[in-house]
Structure 1
């Protein structure tokens, strides 16, 4: 792997590692969102999703099974994006804020798909 590939992979992984740690340390806001979306067992769902972000993020950063790690992160990003950033339910500045985060997550999803499809 090239130096730029290593740096890019580590930078991409960093947001997932950070989010996973944050959600494990302070799960309440995420659990409330999961409850609002009627996710069964929201506390467990948040813990599992946070563990996936942390574990697969670390794997991606270290280059351990990067295709598997990027796939796991892409899968975990779908509910995170839809539940966490429902811009369609918001108005004004809050709508703009949530739409920006939604689009950022779509960009991350695209980067993970591109990385996962590399041979």
Structure 2
């Protein structure tokens, strides 16, 4: 099961590492979009989000305080879902549907991150193939 947990961590982390890369390479475009959604200090928020995604993704990937990494990702995803994907504000049916899908994706990923947090905080080294044990627990 250790190898399965490692593969799951790798697959999960790759999504966030790719997103972090986008935050750093497409900062201006992402800041413009975030600004259009009412995010204050949009460029700073995009860069800070990229840092959180990078740290959380690397922590989970490498198994270095994976519980903290998962918590960071959940704390990024939940506000992002609300601030960036407010489907309830949309009047166009297609835009509403797209935002709802993105909102649900972020909430679902936050749920998975919270589950990882609980598993690593609760079982830590028992999940195997990590560099460090949990920070919490």
After TM superposition, give the deviation of residue 96 of structure 1 in Å: 1.0
- Residues 55-74 of structure 1 mapped to structure 2, 5 A cutoff: 55-74=55-74
Q: Residues 12-38 of structure 1: CA distance to partner in whole angstroms, max 9, x if unpaired?
A: 111111111011100223212332344
TM-score using structure 1 length: 0.89
Q: State whether residues 33 and 83 of structure 1, in contact with CA within 8 Å, keep that contact through their aligned partners in structure 2.
A: no
Which position in structure 2 is the counterpart of 1:99? 100
Partner secondary structure for residue 101 of structure 1: helix
Of 40-49 and 65-74, deviating more is: 40-49
Partner secondary structure for residue 111 of structure 1: helix
Structure (1 or 2) with the larger CA radius of gyration: 2
Q: State whether residues 71 and 113 of structure 2, in contact with CA within 8 Å, keep that contact through their aligned partners in structure 1.
A: yes
Partner secondary structure for residue 117 of structure 1: helix
Count, aligned residues: 119
Partner secondary structure for residue 40 of structure 2: coil
> Which runs of structure 1 show a deviation greater than 3 angstroms over 4 or more consecutive aligned residues?
36-40
What 5-or-longer segments of structure 1 have no aligned partner?
none
